Amino acid sequence: MRNNENIADLVNVQPDFIGFIFYEASNRNVTEIPNVEIPNTIKRVGVFVDKKIEFITKKVTDFKLDYIQLHGDETPEFCQELKRNNRKIIKAFNISEGFDFEQLKSYEDYCDYFLFDAFGEKAGGNGITFNWELLDNYKGETPFLLSGGIDETMTEEIKRINHPQFVGVDINSGFEIASALKNIEKIKQFSDELRS
């Protein structure tokens, strides 16, 4: 997100996280620090795609980020390097038929969450879902967030996911009025239904 008024309205819905995308190829790319009071109960997440440690570190400081979400081809060693300063890491993986969940074992020590997204042309933000039955193949211990084309019609389907490590959803394009501008009423309704 990047619009001050839109962020302020979302704060009233009290999501667990608010995301800021630092990826020039994205039409949601953030360049200016929002001038909005975000309470400590809502964590700020910076989304990065194959960026250098120095770039990420500067954004963490400038935007007071609580979490670093890595959406590229970052290695376990890269996550380990970032984790050294007690940073919280979310590592995203694009899931499709035949995805090898075993490869996540080498990331587990360095990631606080995994994010399972759909496989698409872009690193993220493709607005498509994947076959959620594939989640049964994940046997790891790291909790995960579900992403990829989620919209307000999916609450009942989401509630039926019965995986011990499933802890939440990452929403974006399904709730947008325009790039980086969210439909707050739609998010509130979705949130209320999911939490009920």
What's the pLDDT score for residue 122?
Answer: 53
For residue 182, give Cα distances in angstroms to 10, 50, 85, 127, 149.
8, 26, 32, 14, 14
Tell me if 102 sits within 8 A of 123, measured CB to CB: no
Give the integer Cα–Cα distance in Å for 48 and 71. Answer: 6
Other Cβ atoms closer than 10 A to 30: 19
Indicate the length of the chain as a whole number: 196
Q: What kind and span of H or E run contains 174?
A: none
Rg (CA), the chain: 16
Q: What is the pLDDT along the chain (196 residues), one digit of tens a residue?
A: 999 999 999 999 999 999 999 999 999 999 999 999 999 999 999 999 999 999 999 999 999 999 999 999 999 999 999 998 889 999 999 999 999 999 999 999 999 999 999 866 655 455 668 999 999 999 999 999 999 989 999 999 999 999 999 999 999 999 999 999 999 999 999 999 999 8
Q: What is the CATH number of the domain that holds 87?
A: 3.20.20.70
Give the integer Cα–Cα distance in Å for 68 and 60. Answer: 8
Q: What is the count of structural domains for the chain?
A: 1
Q: Residue 154's domain spans which residues?
A: 4-195
Amino acid symbol at 71: H
Tell me if 95 sits within 8 A of 72, measured CB to CB: no
